[in-house]
Structure 1
């Protein structure tokens, strides 16, 4: 079985707009994304999500709602990336640019999918509709989706 790397991704959503960050360095540099990163030893997935949000755009949240888990497989490039996605509608502080990310608000109809990971346009509608889901994407390189599946969670899961 392939090894897995646990990661987080956080989205701040207000009525008709969403806060995204322009990744300035590292994996995904040059693309808009949520805020997040690796889960460190000794912290829960939610603690990691809150820490990454604070580190990457200097805002804090009291609570997060986990709404999805997406597993990414990059052909011939292990490990699998298991990304836990969270959202919050409230936060404290002012979104501030850091060495890693430049935050910016986007209206839902103006989300810059042409400068984001190609899978985002597939699962963002689920997130924006308030749905919970699990997904699996297989990538060839970083720009080509080989195949994918999305399963909506039932209310009991």
Structure 2
């Protein structure tokens, strides 16, 4: 598991049920980590909802429109997929959402609620929850019939880089 002794590569996210600590993985995805930190420092994620949450799978956020179709004004990123021997989509893994185009990640990301090995090598892993998974587990889930689309969704109250505390 990644270390959290590096405040510049640690992000904290306040949810309704507590603070989540995420250890960033610049060793795996330096460009995506830089994007997460840039958007976090701009306050981009503050108030953004978890628009798609599927029980036993993942909680997705990072779209300022709340529709699952939006992103930041920054350009999309080239994929930085990890080999499964480097990193896997385990419970607590933070990974970038994207369209069918592997090089379309922008601001949306998801947190794995369980081990989801079928995503390995297909999505860019940029971090790992190291504390506060109980708060992530408290995020409102959407119905499976609607592919996890959440009515009246929970949001990220505030997100910051630990070095800026």
TM-score interval for Structure 1 and Structure 2 normalised by the shorter chain: under 0.3
TM-score, normalized by length of structure 2? 0.27
TM-score, normalized by length of structure 1? 0.28
Which structure shows the bigger proportion of residues in strand conformation?
Answer: 1
Find the structure with the greater CA-based Rg. Answer: 1
